[in-house]
């Protein structure tokens, strides 16, 4: 059995409005059996029904208000009708808030409210609205259409009065319950007042003491947090500064120590090449005379084990010397890179070719990269920029090493450069394992690292970010898990340093 039965008395003459009203009646009838029963079943139905009512009101009320505006009913009537809509929405929202807070909300009370309001709204407000809209469509003015409706006659008024009577009965029952509850509360309050009088002073005193202590502790806590933050920043900068100073000294010392032996090894290889060339010439002459030697002497010489190796030695000796010279040239290049890396002063800002700085950094870390990745360069012509080449070299070295570490097997590291009107940019992209969105949010934080304990300080990228920011630029990252990462450095072409 339905709680509300749709009848001709509810029909307004506007088909769309009547369809929407029927939908609301069906919504109420569907929820009524659960709400009337009370208990947990009713509690579960209250929330969803209120949500449906909010959605219904948003759609239905907008349709009616758009219809009245399009028909151009009297502004005063439009405002009054809109106010009724707003009142309903406010009441439902208040009920929804009460329900979310876990406060008691009777399913029966909700049904009483809905049936009373729906009866009143359709038979009074919407009938009046429909009459005006239909009359104005037939040519009446807004004022004439407004006077055509007489809500005091016929069955609609009877139904309306009955609904109001139900509503008043509900309010009376609620008031009676509230009176009884208030009497119980007053009795409990009298008993509590006796206890509160003796405790109030002590509670106030204790509360004041605790508040003062809390304020003092809060001040100390804030000061401690600020001190820790400053200490962490200072420690990070100091650690990185000491680390780079040690690397610079090590690079300078290694370059100096290796340079001297490289010099005499290179000189000795030159002399040795000359000696071998002479010996090979002498060997060729010897082979020509060997055929004219007495048979016994020639047989004795050819029987020597060394004679059997002469052909191989003649072919292999030049190759061995050439490979030695190539290896020595590579060592000299590494030494030169180390000397360049250690010689630059971090305070020495000057015009520099940023691609040359990137190439130098690449040479420094090449041994770290060559077994992990193929390096692809996509360089565009760049203007020189005013910068600290050493600081930027440190950034490039760090990003290149990180790219190699991100590649688990074999991959590709792409280096790209380009420029805009006021800036140059450098991209270092890898095909490694990538980073999650959460990691990307924190990678520039000091001491944050994704490496196992003991394998990373978490300072590298934070220092890179500070260096780039010191140059007036930006350091950004784009990454996704399983698809690698791309770090983009943007630097202005002019600096006020």
The pTM of this model reads 0.35
Question: Of 119, 151, 183, which residue is a domain's last?
Answer: 151
Please give the distance of CA 40 from its chain centroid, rounded to a whole number.
41
Q: What is the pLDDT of residue 268?
A: 78
**Terminal C-alpha separation, the chain:** 85
Q: What is the pLDDT of residue 167?
A: 52
On average, the pLDDT of the chain sits at: 78
Q: What is the pLDDT of residue 412?
A: 92
Those residues of the chain that have pLDDT short of 50 are 152, 154, 161, 164-165, 168, 171-172, 175-176, 179, 240, 344, 454
* CA–CA gap between residue 433 and residue 459 (Å, rounded): 21
Q: Convert the pLDDT of each residue in 169-204 to its tens digit.
A: 554 455 446 546 655 776 777 878 877 777 777 778
Q: What is the pLDDT of residue 417?
A: 95
CATH number of the domain to which 354 belongs: 3.30.565.10
Q: What is the pLDDT of residue 175?
A: 43
Q: What is the pLDDT of residue 340?
A: 54
What does residue 486 show for φ and ψ, rounded to 5 degrees?
-135, 115
Q: Convert the pLDDT of each residue in 3-58 to its tens digit.
A: 677 778 788 889 898 898 888 888 888 877 777 666 677 777 778 888 888 888 88
Question: Of 135, 151, 167, which residue is a domain's last?
Answer: 151
What does residue 421 show for φ and ψ, rounded to 5 degrees?
-65, -40
Q: Is 372 part of a structural domain of the chain?
A: yes
Q: What is the pLDDT of residue 336?
A: 66
Q: Are 320 and 328 in contact (CB under 8 A)?
A: no
The neighbour count for residue 262, using CB atoms within 10 Å, is 17
Q: Is 251 part of a structural domain of the chain?
A: no
* CA–CA gap between residue 112 and residue 300 (Å, rounded): 130
Residue 146's alpha-carbon distances to 123, 282, 421, 482, in angstroms, are 16, 129, 68, 69
Q: What is the pLDDT of residue 467?
A: 87
Q: What is the domain extent for residue 113?
A: 8-151
The neighbour count for residue 214, using CB atoms within 10 Å, is 11
Q: What is the pLDDT of residue 165?
A: 45
Question: Of 151, 185, 208, which residue is a domain's last?
Answer: 151
Q: Is 284 part of a structural domain of the chain?
A: no
Q: What is the pLDDT of residue 430?
A: 92
Q: What is the pLDDT of residue 380?
A: 92
Q: Is 128 part of a structural domain of the chain?
A: yes
Element (H or E) spanning 449, and its range?
Answer: none
Q: Is 41 part of a structural domain of the chain?
A: yes
Q: Is residue 3 packed enough to be buried (19+ CB in 10 Å), middle (13-18) or exposed (0-12)?
A: middle
Q: What is the dihedral of CA 302, 305, 311, 317, to 10 degrees?
A: -140
CATH number of the domain to which 99 belongs: 1.20.120.50
* CA–CA gap between residue 273 and residue 256 (Å, rounded): 26
Q: What is the pLDDT of residue 325?
A: 80
Q: What is the pLDDT of residue 371?
A: 85
Q: How many domains does the chain have?
A: 2
Q: Is 305 part of a structural domain of the chain?
A: no
Q: Is 276 part of a structural domain of the chain?
A: no
Q: What is the pLDDT of residue 396?
A: 93
Q: Is 226 part of a structural domain of the chain?
A: no
């Amino acid at each position: 059995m339905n709680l509300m039965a749709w009848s001709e008395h509810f029909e307004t003459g506007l088909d769309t409005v009547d369809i929407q009203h029927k939908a609301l009646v069906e919504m109420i009838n569907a929820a009524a059996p659960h709400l009337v029963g009370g208990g947990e079943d009713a509690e579960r139905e209250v929330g969803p029904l209120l949500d449906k009512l909010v959605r219904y009101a948003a759609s239905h009320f907008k349709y009616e208000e758009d219809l009245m505006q399009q028909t151009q009913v009297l502004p005063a009537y439009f405002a009054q009708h809109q106010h009724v809509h707003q009142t309903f929405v406010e009441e439902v929202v208040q009920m929804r808030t009460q329900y979310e807070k876990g406060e008691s909300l009777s399913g029966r009370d909700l049904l009483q409210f809905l049936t009373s309001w729906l009866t009143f709204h359709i038979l009074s407000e919407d009938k009046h609205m429909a009459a005006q809209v239909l009359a104005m469509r037939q040519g009446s003015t807004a004022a004439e259409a407004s006077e055509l409706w007489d809500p005091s006659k016929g069955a609609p008024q009877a139904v309306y009065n009955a609904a109001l009577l139900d509503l008043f009965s509900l309010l009376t029952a609620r008031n009676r319950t509230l009176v009884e509850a208030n009497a119980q509360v007053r009795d409990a309050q009298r008993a509590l007042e006796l206890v509160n009088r003796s405790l109030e002073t002590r509670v106030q005193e204790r509360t004041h003491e605790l508040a003062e202590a809390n304020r003092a502790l809060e001040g100390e806590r804030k000061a401690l947090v600020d001190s820790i933050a400053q200490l962490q920043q200072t420690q990070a900068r100091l650690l990185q500064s000491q680390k780079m100073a040690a690397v610079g000294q090590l690079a300078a010392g290694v370059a100096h120590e290796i340079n001297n032996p490289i010099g005499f090894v290179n000189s000795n290889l030159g002399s040795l090449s000359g000696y071998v060339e002479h010996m090979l010439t002498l060997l060729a002459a010897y082979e020509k005379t060997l055929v004219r030697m007495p048979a016994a002497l020639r047989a004795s010489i050819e029987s020597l084990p060394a004679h059997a190796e002469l052909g191989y030695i003649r072919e292999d000796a030049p190759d061995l010397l050439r490979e030695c010279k190539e290896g020595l040239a590579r060592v000299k290049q590494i030494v030169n890179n180390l000397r360049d890396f250690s010689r630059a002063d971090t305070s020495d800002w000057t015009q520099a070719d940023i691609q040359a700085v990137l190439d130098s950094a690449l040479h420094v870390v090449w041994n770290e990269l060559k077994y992990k990745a193929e390096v692809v360069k996509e360089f565009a012509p760049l203007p020189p920029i005013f910068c600290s080449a050493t600081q930027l070299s440190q950034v490039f070295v760090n990003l290149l090493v990180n790219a190699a570490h991100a590649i688990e097997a074999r991959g590709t590291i792409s280096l790209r450069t380009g420029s805009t009107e006021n800036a140059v940019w450098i991209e270092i992209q890898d095909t490694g394992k990538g980073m999650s969105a959460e990691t990307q949010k924190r990678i520039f934080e000091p001491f944050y690292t994704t490496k196992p304990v003991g394998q990373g300080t978490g300072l590298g990228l934070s220092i890179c970010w500070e260096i780039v920011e010191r140059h007036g630029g930006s350091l950004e990252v784009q990454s996704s898990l399983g698809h690698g990462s791309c770090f983009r450095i943007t630097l202005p072409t002019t600096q006020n340093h």
